[in-house]
Structure 1
Amino acid sequence: MVGTEDTRLVVLRGNSASGKSSVAAAVRDRFGRGLALVGQDNLRRIVLRERDRPGAANIGLIDITARYALDAGFHVIVEGILYADHYGDMLAQLRADHRGPTHAYYLHVPLEQTLVRHATKPIAHEVGEEALRSWYRELDLLPDGVETVIGTDSTLDETVDRILHDTGLAGLPPREEERRDH
């Protein structure tokens, strides 16, 4: 078992350019301290510099990082494309092991809109339309209907509000920091 009855675990998935990172950052900014952001891109691309494939090391690193933060009393958002066939088993076990409430969301953006959004990102000159099309998976949902699908009709603020309220984070205080005199 991991975390406490009071910790919140939020899984935020979707295709590239669906707004996952923006939503996760905005939820954390609005909540305040005490909410750990476990980003797939950071751990997979920056920390490990590995490709996304079944059984890759980042899957375990995402899992252990989320578990560590939950055990330390942080609420956690696990955010990324997190393909169901690569990450589904790990996410299911993490959900099953978490003592507190767990909520999962899938940000659904149609391919054509994904291409338009991607063109505005700094990485657009490195990653072309062909690669984006090959990565895209229409409604790559986890089994058992555990995810709430949020479509493009939901604005960033509406999505953040929904997650904060659904998860109960809206009613919780941010974590107090210990003050040190150095």
Structure 2
Amino acid sequence: MAKLIIIRGNSGSGKSTVAQLLQHVLGAGVMLVGQDEIRRNILNVRDQPNNLAIQLIEDIVNYGIVHCDYVILEGILNKSKYGSMIDNLMNQMNVETHTYYFNLSFQETVRRHNLKPDTDFGPEAMANWFLKNDVLGVKNEKCISQAMSENEIVKMILVDII
């Protein structure tokens, strides 16, 4: 049975870094699906309801569920835009899902974002995207606080999935 790990949160929260670390620790054959990679770099579409990236993300994750032991889906994945797609993925018979939400303040996401050496947007744009407490409300969803380090988060996820 494939394990789907969904890592969500606001821009700048650290989800991409954690997802990459987790993929590295789990080893070869672990699929990492980044919302921004698909939406911004592959399709170049705006993050609006019913954008083309939603279906492509679902299709790619489903491919991973069939062919990989672990699939990591990471992104802002706003519940109002991506919630139905996430429900579709989570409600399959052949997948064990683990969901994590970076529940950080706006100030903390800006602080973390400013640590990145190369960014193409600033606090003003982040303020437009910020959603407070956008949890899915699904069973076993875990919230990640700003007190947790990247390594602590990865260890917590590993304990949950292995």
Q: TM-score range by the shorter chain?
A: over 0.9
Deviates more, 1:76-85 or 1:66-75: 66-75
Match of 2:150 among 156, 163, 173: 156
Amino acid at match of 2:124: E
Map of 2:83 onto structure 1: 88
Q: Deviations over 1:56-108 (max 9, x none)?
A: 01000100000011111341001000000000011011100151311000012
Partners in 2 of 1:90 and 1:98 — Cα distance? 15
- Judge conservation of contact 2:65–2:95 (CA < 8 Å) in 1: no
Match of 1:127 among 118, 121, 126: 121
| Structure 1: runs of 5+ lacking an equivalent | 1-5, 169-182
Report the structure number with the largest CA radius of gyration: 1
* Total equivalences in the alignment: 162
Partners in 2 of 1:144 and 1:70 — Cα distance? 20
Partners in 1 of 2:139 and 2:152 — Cα distance? 22
Partners in 2 of 1:160 and 1:105 — Cα distance? 11
Partners in 2 of 1:58 and 1:100 — Cα distance? 22
CA root-mean-square deviation:
1.3
CA 1:147–1:113: 2 relative to 1, 3 Å:
same
Any idea what SS the aligned residue of 2:50 has?
A: coil
1:117 is the counterpart of 2:112: yes
Mapping of residues 69-84 of structure 1, within 5 Å: 69-84=64-79
Any idea what SS the aligned residue of 1:18 has?
A: coil
Q: Deviations over 1:99-157 (max 9, x none)?
A: 13110000122111111112222454x31221111111111111345521010111111
Map of 1:166 onto structure 2: 160
TM-score by length of 1: 0.84
| Structure 2: runs of 5+ lacking an equivalent | none
Amino acid at match of 2:65: L
